[in-house]
Amino acid sequence: MGILLSIETTDALNNLNIELDENKFGQVITNLIGNALKFTPRGGLITLSVTHLEAEGRVRVSVTDTGVGIAPVHILLAMTRSSSL
């Protein structure tokens, strides 16, 4: 048994145009999925969710997994640009 990848979106995303830097966006998604794959055990689940936050004029993209996670003391460090845990 491998790792299951689930992709969740809503109909609100149909026909929605988003301006973004394709290279940076691709790099972020690649890093998030790569980390999820690295730390999610066999039989685990990785979920990629895309949600339209219409009231804010934004789109939220998130990656969640059933891996071990980041220790609370390391969360802030992990969010800095040049860190690597």
Token digits for 84?
């690597």
Structural domain contains residue 59: yes
Residue 42 has pLDDT above 90, yes or no: yes
The answer as to whether 51 is a domain residue is yes
- Position 83 in a domain: no
Residue 76: helix, strand or coil by DSSP?
A: helix
| Confidence (pTM) | 0.80
Is 85 a member of any domain? no
Average pLDDT (44-58) is 94
The more confidently predicted of residues 45 and 19 is 45
Residue 55 resides in a domain: yes
In angstroms, what is the C-alpha Rg of the chain?
15
Query: How many distinct structural domains can be found in the chain?
Result: 1
Question: pLDDT digits over 2-26, tens only?
Answer: 999 999 998 888 888 889 999 999 9
Instruction: Enumerate helices (H) and strands (E) in the chain, giving the number of each.
Output: 2, 3
Give bridge partners of residue 7 from the DSSP assignment: 48
User: What domain range is 40 assigned to?
Assistant: 4-78
CA distance 23 to 68: 29
Q: What CATH number has the domain bearing residue 33?
A: 3.30.565.10
Overall average pLDDT of the 32-53 stretch: 95
